[in-house]
Every structure is written in structure tokens, then in C-alpha cells.
Amino acid sequence: MAEFWNRLKHDFQLSIVMLVGLCAFIGITPYAIYRLLEGNYLVGIVDSVLVICTLGAVRWAWVTGDTIRPGQFLAVIFSVGTVMVANNLGVNGLFWFYTLILFNFFVVPPRQSIVATSLALVAICVLGLQPGAQVFESYYQMMSFIVTSSIASFFAFVFAFRGRRQREQLNTLATLDPLTSTGNRRTMERELTIAMAEHRRYGKEYGLLMLDLDHFKRVNDLYGHKAGDQVLVAVADLLESASRESDRLFRLGGEEFVLLLPLVDMLGLERAAQHLCTAVAEQVRSPGGPVTVSIGGAALGRQENWQAWLHEADECLYRAKHAGRNGYMISGLDSPARVLTVVSGTD
């Protein structure tokens, strides 16, 4: 049960799909029963299909963690259902259109929602204009419906658009390091926890590198904090481009980075460390000359938790620093190795 609430707490869109599903279930089921008992089988069946599809979409989102396609499915089902109900019940069915506006803006992105809602509105009006149709009692009523539903859709769009942007900005603030745009410490903790779980459950291999700039204080002291910041950004960019797409880079704080590498063993980790050490020494420069990093690494094995794993890499980093910097040390492999690139301005 705790996991259930935890997932809902951390996945906003999933909680919205669940809530819309619950509302649709509670709100539509009595109508479905009522219409079936009343003998209006078309609307009864449409309502029942809506409820069944809603429950199916909720299950789909819950099992796969994908909220986009179930959301789109719900938007299509709700839109078609509302058109059919409006066509069959006339004014009494039209009221559901206002609920549709809200539901659509909750379950799909604003632009998709405005398309689905507009198509449903056009479909209702086209059906209403057919000879003998009973959707609207007069043209005046139809115009009132178009104007009021358009205004409601417009405000829902503005509200949903702004809300989505603010959520994205909040998410960026909460997960990324503002200077380098790499993952921040909180994101790293989450990813390491997931890596540990995958290693335990499926035996998936992971390696972790801890990278620390050498003598970074000198850059700050001699050339100012701004130059120091530029060096940090340049190192982060290089580490991103020199590592694999599946690797994840985080800034732990200050001049320390962590790289999480899936599907590598100890030897692969050593090769990656050597490659990154060399790449930084060769390609990143501060106003005072080449920049170098020291790296400590540890493959995921029997560590009790991610803190122990990180600590193991940190100890190796400490040894790489003490061996003279611009080098790397991988836990379980012999002694620290120095990168042989000739660089001036270090040590």
C-alpha cells in the first residue's frame, strides 16, 4: 500500500490518470445502469464502454508506467463518447461536453487536448445541423453552446499550458544542477538506488566513476569564480560527450562529478576512466592551461547500499589524488594509474 501512495506521490501524470479514471467510474457508472434500465441501450452501452475503457487505460498506465498513450486513448474515447451521448440525448447530453473539456486537459498535453476538444465540438455541431437532428433546440442555442464551450476551452488551455510549463520548470530545478545542467545530487541518489535494485533483481552490471578536478582552487583564486564556473561547464560538457549515451552524469557538488555507467565490469570501468582522464587533459583548458581530473571507480558488487558503493569509489579517488593526480584508480584493480598525457600547469 505504501508503494501505491509513493508512486502516486512521485508521478503527477499517473495520479491524474488514476483520478480521472476514478471520477469517470464513479460519475458514469450510475448513468450507464440508469440508461440500460430505462431501455436507452445505445447510451447505456456507450456509458458502459466508457467505464470499461477508462478502467483499462488506468490499468495500462499503472502496469507500464506510460501515461502518454493511455491518456491519448482516454481523450479519444471520452471525445467520441461525448459526441454520441450529445447526439442521442440532445441538450441533456451536451452538459457532458464541459466535463470533457476538463478531462481532456488533464489527461493529454494542452495542444492535443485542444485538437480533441475542437474536433468533438465540430462533430456535435455537424450532427446537430443534420435534417431531423435533435441535438439543439434552435440555432441560437447552438451558437450559445459554441461560444460558451469555446471560452471554457480557451481558459482551460491557458491554465493547462501554464501549469505544464511551471511543472517542467519545477522539475528541472529539482533534478538538474543549475550551472552544468547535469543531474544533481538528489537525482544521483535516485538513480543509484534504482541501479542497486536492478543489480539485485536482474544481476545487471553497473560501474560508478567519481571525478574531481585537480587543483581547481587555483583556477578560482587566480582567475576568478567566473572562470572557475566556465571550466566546470566545459568539463561537464566534455564528460557528457566523451561518455556513452546510456551513461548518466551528475554533479555531486563543487568540482566533483559522478558518472554512472550501465553494463560495464571492472575492466570496462578502467578503460572508461582512462579515456575520460585523457580526454579532459587534452581538451579542456582554463586560462592558466590544461585542466586535469582524478578519478576513482567501483563496480557494483556486494555493497550494502549506494552510500557504500559511492564511498568505495571515493576512497579510490583519494588514492588517485595521492598518487599524483591526472590519473585513476579502480577498486579491485592493482595500483593507481596515471595518465601519460603530457600536460603543463598541473601538480
Ligand X SMILES: Nc1nc2c(ncn2[C@@H]2O[C@H](COP(=O)(O)OP(=O)(O)OP(=O)(O)O)[C@@H](O)[C@H]2O)c(=O)[nH]1
Binding site for ligand X (CB under 6 A): 179, 212-217, 220, 225, 228-229, 232, 254-255, 321, 325
**C-alpha separations of 216 from 164, 221, 222, 235, 288 in Å:** 39, 9, 10, 12, 11
**190 vs 215, which CB is nearer to ligand X?**
215
The residue to which cell 466508457 is assigned: 50
- Strand 289-290 with 337-338, pairing: unpaired
> Which residues, at least 6 apart from 290, have a Cβ–Cβ distance to it below 8 Å?
281, 282, 284, 343, 344, 345, 346
**199 vs 321, which CB is nearer to ligand X?**
321
The residue to which cell 566513476 is assigned: 209
**213 vs 281, which CB is nearer to ligand X?**
213
The residue to which cell 550494502 is assigned: 304
Give the nearest distance from C-beta 230 to ligand X in angstroms: 8
**214 vs 312, which CB is nearer to ligand X?**
214
**173 vs 179, which CB is nearer to ligand X?**
179
Reading the block at residue 228, the C-alpha cell is 572557475
Residue nearest to ligand X (CB): 228
Give the nearest distance from C-beta 257 to ligand X in angstroms: 12
How far apart CA 100 and CA 151 sit, in angstroms, is 14
Give the nearest distance from C-beta 187 to ligand X in angstroms: 17
The dihedral sign for the CA sequence 102, 106, 108, 111: positive
Give the nearest distance from C-beta 321 to ligand X in angstroms: 6
**48 vs 326, which CB is nearer to ligand X?**
326
∠ CA 80-81-82 to the nearest 5 degrees? 95
The residue to which cell 482516454 is assigned: 74
Question: Three-class SS of residue 117?
Answer: helix
Give the nearest distance from C-beta 285 to ligand X in angstroms: 15
**77 vs 213, which CB is nearer to ligand X?**
213
> Which residues, at least 6 apart from 23, have a Cβ–Cβ distance to it below 8 Å?
103
Give the nearest distance from C-beta 324 to ligand X in angstroms: 11
Per-residue buried b or exposed e for 23-35, using 16+ beta carbons within 10 Å of the residue's own CB: ebeeebeebbeeb
Give the nearest distance from C-beta 226 to ligand X in angstroms: 7
In sequence order, the β-bridge partners of residue 52 are none
Give the nearest distance from C-beta 342 to ligand X in angstroms: 19
Closest CA relative to residue 106, chosen from 19, 166, 172: 19
**160 vs 320, which CB is nearer to ligand X?**
320
The torsion angles phi and psi of 36, rounded to 5 degrees, stand at -65, -45
